[in-house]
Structure 1
Amino acid sequence: MAWLSLLAAGIFEMAGVAMINKWHNDRKWQSFLLLLLGFGLSFLFLSFAMETLPMSTAYAVWTGIGASGGAILGMLFYNEAKDWKRILFIAMVLGSAVGLKLVS
């Protein structure tokens, strides 16, 4: 269950990052509220995961999901560069997160 909580935390982290960009572009209170909700739920689920998982593993995986997911969202929805080097390094970050799961 801790790993599912950690996955949810990473997904909400991605949502929070996407809402930063949305709020930066439109400055609507709804975007800001979604930003706070995304990050708030991210921290909540991270805290659930850390009840079972070691802090170092949970934080590294959560950060990896958030950073990689944010980069992927940028490429898909905000026309950021999609060259093979970016994709390679995103894959390396995600591979590291999977590796931490396998050894935990």
Structure 2
Amino acid sequence: MAWLSLIAAGLFETAGVLSINRLNRERNAKSLLLLVGAFGASFILLAYAMEFFPMSTAYAIWTGIGASGGALAGMWIYGESKDWRRILFILMILGAAVGLKLVE
């Protein structure tokens, strides 16, 4: 359950980043509520996961999922560059987070 919470926290972080972009385009209450809800859920799930994982590992995995998810969402939703080097570095971020868990 802790792993699912940590993965969901990272996905909600990605949703929060997408909500920041939406709020910049559409300044309204719905956009603000989506932003607060996404980051709120992300922090609550991260806090739960940190009861089972060391802080350093949980935080690295959470930020890895969020950073990678934000980059991938930018590529798919907003047409940002899909250069192979970007994909390579996203894989490196995820690999580093997994590596931290393996040497825990």
The answer, yes or no, to whether TM exceeds 0.5 is yes
Cα RMSD of the aligned pairs, angstroms, is 1.0
Counterparts of residues 1-104 of structure 1 (less than 5 Å):
1-104=1-104
Displacement of 1:102 in angstroms is 3.1
Equivalents in 2 of 1:53, 1:44: separation in Å?
14
Structure 2: how far apart are the matches of 1:83 and 1:99?
A: 25
Whole-Å separation in 2 of the counterparts to 1:3 and 1:97: 13
Give the Cα–Cα distance (whole angstroms) in 1 for the partners of residues 54 and 98 of structure 2. Answer: 15
In 2, distance between residues paired with 1:98 and 1:71? Answer: 18
Structure 2: how far apart are the matches of 1:66 and 1:2?
17
How many angstroms apart in 1 are the aligned matches of 2:103 and 2:4?
A: 17
Letter in 2 for 1:41: A
Identity %: 65
Give the paired residue count.
104
Runs of at least 5 residues in structure 2 that lack an aligned partner in the other structure: none
Distance in 2, Cα, partners of 1:42 & 1:103: 25
Report deviation, 1:95: 1.2
Question: Normalization by structure 2: what TM-score?
Answer: 0.95
